[in-house]
Structure 1
Amino acid sequence: MTLPTLRDAVPADVPALAALARRTFTETFGHLYRPEDLAAFLQNHTPERWAVELADPAFAVRVADTGAELVAYAKLGPPSLPFEPRGPSIELRQFYVLAPFHGTGLARALMDWVLARARAGGAADLYLSVFVDNHRAQAFYARYGFERVGRYDFQVGGHVDEDHVMRLKL
C-alpha cells in the first residue's frame, strides 16, 4: 500500500478534518459509550472549532491525504491536561489513523512529524493522554520513550474514562 501524502492542514480541510475526527473517534471508541454520550462528545469536533484551532498559531495539525480523502491526523497544541508542565512543553492533543491504514507505517510517519515539530518549537517535553484500555496506543507511545506520569479523567458526555498522562522528554 502506498502511504498517503502527509501535509500541514489548511483551512480548506476544515470540513474533512471535522468529519475525520468524528469518524476516527467513533471507529476507535464508539462501542464503549451510550449513543447520547458519544453524540455529546462529538460536538467537540465541529467545523467551527477546527477552523478556530487551525487559525491559531499555537496549534499545528498534520493530515494524511490519499487524494480522495483524509485518513489520519495529528494535532499538537499548548498543554491542556490538568498537570503542571516541568518546563517548555507541548501536548499531542489528538493522534488518529483510520483502521485500514493501521500497520502501514503511517502512524510512524505522523509521529516523526510530531516529534520534529515539538522539538523545532522549543518544547522540552511532549505530553499526551491515552485511554487506560487502549493497549495498542500505549505500546506505540512506549516505543518512542513516553512514560506514564499521571492520570486524567476523560469526559465523554456524562461518562468518565480514566486516561494515562504520558510524557516524553525531548
Structure 2
Amino acid sequence: MSAITYRQAGPDDAARLAELGRRTFIDTFGHLYAPEDLAAFLEVHSAESWREQLGDGTLSTCLAEADGAAVAYAKVGPPSLPFQPRGPSVELRQLYVLKQWHGAGVAAALMDWAIAEARTRGGEDLYLSVFIDNHRARRFYERYGFEEVGLYPFKVGNHYDDDRIMRLSLKDRT
C-alpha cells in the first residue's frame, strides 16, 4: 500500500470529497436501501453541497490521500444531532474510509485528528452518530472510549435507520 498523506480539505476538493462520500456510503450501506431512498440521500454528497461545507468556517475536513487519490476523510463541526450536549462540544460529522484502506491505520489517524481538532475548538466532549448495525465502526469508536448516550433516527430518503449517539469525554483523555 502507498503512503498516506493528510491535509486540510479546501473548496477545490469538493468534487473529490463528493465522489468519495458517495462511494464509501454505497459500498458500506447501499444494499440496505431502495434505489430512490439511496439517490435522495446521496444528494448530500454533491459537489455543490461539499463546496458550501468547505466554505463554512464552522466545519473542518481532513482529507487522506494515497498517490494523490482521495481514500478517506473526517469532518467535524458544532453539534447538529438532535440532543442536548452537556457542555462545550464538537461533533464528528463523518469519518469515511474506502474499504481497501480498512485496517491500514487511516481511520485511527483521522480519529486522532478529530480529537485534536475538537480540543482546539474548546470541546470537552466529542459526539458522533453510528448505525446500530455498523458493528465494525461501533467497535472502533468504543476502543477510543466513546459511550452510547442516545438514539437518533437517521433518515436515508424516506427510510429511517436506528443510529446511536456516542460521546467521548475529552476531559478524561490525556
- Which TM-score tier does this pair reach, normalised by the shorter chain? over 0.9
- For residues 83-117 of structure 1, the C-alpha deviation after alignment (integer angstroms, 9 at most, x for no partner) is 01111111000001000000011111111101111
Measured after TM superposition, the shift of residue 46 of structure 1 is: 1.2
Task: Show the counterpart of 2:29.
Answer: 29
Task: Show the counterpart of 1:119.
Answer: 119
Secondary structure of 2:24's counterpart equals helix
Are 1:6 and 2:6 an aligned pair? yes
Measured after TM superposition, the shift of residue 45 of structure 1 is: 1.1
Letter of the structure 2 residue corresponding to residue 165 of structure 1? I
Contact 1:3 1:106 in 2 (8 A): no
Task: Show the counterpart of 1:164.
Answer: 164
Measured after TM superposition, the shift of residue 120 of structure 1 is: 1.2
Letter of the structure 1 residue corresponding to residue 90 of structure 2? I
Measured after TM superposition, the shift of residue 2 of structure 1 is: 3.4
Secondary structure of 2:80's counterpart equals coil
Between 1:136-145 and 1:61-70, the stretch displaced more is 61-70
RMSD: 0.8
Task: Show the counterpart of 1:57.
Answer: 57
Are 1:154 and 2:157 an aligned pair? no
Between 1:1-10 and 1:38-47, the stretch displaced more is 1-10
Letter of the structure 1 residue corresponding to residue 164 of structure 2? H
How many residue pairs get matched? 170
Quick one: distance in 2 between partners of 1:120 and 1:137?
24
Task: Show the counterpart of 1:82.
Answer: 82
Task: Show the counterpart of 1:42.
Answer: 42
- For residues 27-81 of structure 1, the C-alpha deviation after alignment (integer angstroms, 9 at most, x for no partner) is 1100100111100100111111111111111100001111331010000011111
Quick one: distance in 2 between partners of 1:78 and 1:39?
27
Measured after TM superposition, the shift of residue 10 of structure 1 is: 1.4
TM-score (norm 1): 0.97
Contact 1:37 1:159 in 2 (8 A): yes
Contact 1:88 1:124 in 2 (8 A): yes
Same amino acid, percent of matched pairs: 60
Letter of the structure 1 residue corresponding to residue 31 of structure 2? H
Task: Show the counterpart of 1:66.
Answer: 66
Secondary structure of 1:142's counterpart equals helix
Moved over 6 A (4+): none
Are 1:94 and 2:88 an aligned pair? no
Quick one: distance in 2 between partners of 1:83 and 1:99?
30
